[in-house]
Structure 1
Amino acid sequence: MKKTLCCLTLLLWSHWSIAQVEPITVATFNIRYDNPGDAPNTWDNRKAVVGNLIRFHGFDIFGIQEGLHHQVLDLTNLLPVHDYVGVGRDDGKEKGEYSAIFYNKEKFKVLESGTFWLAPETDHPNKGWDAALPRICTWAKMEKSENGETFYVFNTHFDHRGVEARNQSAQLILEKIDEINTGDLPVILTGDFNVGQETEAYKLLKSAPGMKDTFDAAGLVYVNNGTTNSFDTSTSTERIIDHIFVSDEISVKKFGVLTDTYHGKYPSDHFPVMAVISW
């Protein structure tokens, strides 16, 4: 009888432990490169707001786009519990915009990471197809501190002009996910894809076997605007070009486009997109 009760207690404890796995808040955020011509929306005026927004909404893992090296360093100073992986797209070191992945280092550990270029030649800085600029995807294999589970995060920024480049980049990323994720682990893909939900590139990613858009999968969707704003509070759009895709085994509790403002201004010319997930 005692043995039966002991086994039952362990079983109930096991189910309770699984149920108590902490959800992860993931996000994608094009922070806008440090452009003096954006005044009064310069990085120096915005950076503290960006950091506080991230902290307030509790981003555990987030991918940025357009961050220059000094902006990435500013974020690490503003977010003391976060670290990052990533390189500049122009030289594979510190030059050019990053598609860095930031993560809460108290909750996660990076086991492996890398960056590839969105081009036929993926291992060095270059432009692909009809792209106007070099484009990259940064990835990380991560481990949860709470239970040792491993998963992958990919973060990217598609070209703003080349339609063929965006279509080819979508296909390339799916191929790279299969190539890198040999253990068939859960996958999170974040980015500024520069494509709306009506485009070929978006549909390729959304319909890929084993993948889904968190916008569609979320139990609660909070979207009052599209994801770009051009720093103009007098206009709005319905178009979502910043996306978070996840693999099928990941459940999505919430999805939102965060339209935070400060003194009548926006923290960036893109709104961050956030999802709360678990598996």
Structure 2
Amino acid sequence: MKLYISLLLAAICCNWALAQSDPLTVATFNIRYDNPNDDPHTWDNRKDVVANLILFHEFDIFGIQEGLSHQVNDLDVRLPDHDFVGVGRDDGAEEGEYTAIFYNRTKFKVQESDTFWLAPETDHPNKGWDAALPRICTWAKITSVNAGQTFYVFNTHFDHRGVEARNQSARLILEKIEEINTESLPVILTGDFNVGQETEAYQLLRTAPGMKDTFDAAEIVYANNGTTNSFDITTSTERIIDHIFVSEKINVQKYGILTDTYHSRFPSDHFPVMAVVNW
């Protein structure tokens, strides 16, 4: 009997450990909207490179910014194991840029998802505060197929001009996380926040109770550059404006800013940021 109990306890502990240690690769990637004036860095020249970068680095779940409907669909076709959730910011359907969340459907199932606008009126397309453009945040409640772990992913793109809009957007997202995540599940927040680590909006998110920046928390950090490049391979920056925040309960194994190139060009005018996490 004692031997049976010992074996049973060992099996339970083993199963628990496997569920707890299953790593998840998350990322945020501003893919640059399809601007014909970007030639030779047009979307047609970049779309295969962007998709192959994602496949090579094995992003399980990632949020994109600036993708238009046809760009989102181009990625959907090129990532056969992934699905996505999200809408265009201009009409809540297909018009305007998306903050889509892609996820590997062989590993994860989406239980719920929605999009809200970064504005005092969050339920329909509009601009908030001093923002130059409508801005949105897409979220998904996701469950892993194997481990049965459920968590939330929020993905956003802050305004590039409105300082007040960025500060208020940070406050709004934190309020929405609390409002939506009534079960206190783990949370991952990705995005192009258009703010460096010295700004008020960033500090609001970094120091929010129960949240942390994966840059700070990672056991291994590979960040030899900032996150923007303007498609110019001759210059560099230290400024990080694309971030991945996570709940305090999430362990961050690795963090990286991926400065991949192809034929002396960049896949986008932003570098993707990735983190390997578990809990």
The TM-score range, normalised by the shorter chain, is: over 0.9
Q: Secondary structure at the match of 1:110?
A: strand
Confirm or deny that 1:67 pairs with 2:37.
no
Shift of 1:13: 2.0
Show CA shifts across 1:43-70 (max 9, x none). 0000000000000000000000000000
Q: Which amino acid aligns with 2:206?
A: K
The alpha carbon displacement at 1:145 in A equals: 0.3
Alignment match, 2:11: 13
Superposition map of 1:1-279 within 5 A: 3-21=1-19, 22-279=22-279
Report the CA distance between 1:8 and its aligned residue: 1.3
Give the letter aligned to residue 12 of structure 2: S
Q: Deviations over 1:127-185 (max 9, x none)?
A: 00000000000000011101222110000000000000000000000000000000000
Q: Give 1:20 shift.
A: 2.5
Q: Give the Å deviation of 1:84.
A: 0.2
Q: What displacement does 1:19 show?
A: 2.6
Which amino acid in 1 is paired with 2:161?
R
Q: Distance in 1 between matches of 2:6 and 2:55?
A: 41
The CA distance in 2 between the partners of 1:217 and 1:75, in whole Å, is 30
What are the ranges of 5 or more consecutive residues in structure 2 without an aligned counterpart? none
TM-score in terms of structure 2 length: 0.98
- In 1, the alpha carbon distance for the partners of 2:5 and 2:99 equals 49
What is the deviation of 1:6? 1.6
The CA distance in 2 between the partners of 1:4 and 1:145, in whole Å, is: 34
**Take 2:69 and 2:150, find their aligned partners in 1: how far apart are those partners?**
28
- Count of aligned residue pairs for this structure pair: 277
Residues in 2 aligned to 1:87 and 1:243: alpha-carbon distance in whole angstroms: 21
Residues of 1 paired with 2:261 and 2:8: CA distance?
A: 49
Amino acid in structure 1 at the alignment position of 2:5: C
Could you tell me how far 1:18 is from its partner in structure 2? 2.7
Report the secondary structure of 1:20's partner residue: helix
SS at match of 1:194: coil
Aligned structure 1 segments of 4 or more residues deviating by more than 6 angstroms: none
Q: Which whole-Å CA distance do the structure 1 matches of 2:81 and 2:2 have between them?
A: 44
Partner-residue secondary structure (3-state), 1:53: helix
The residue matched to 2:13 in structure 1 has which SS? helix
Identity of aligned residues (%): 75
CA RMSD between the two structures:
0.6
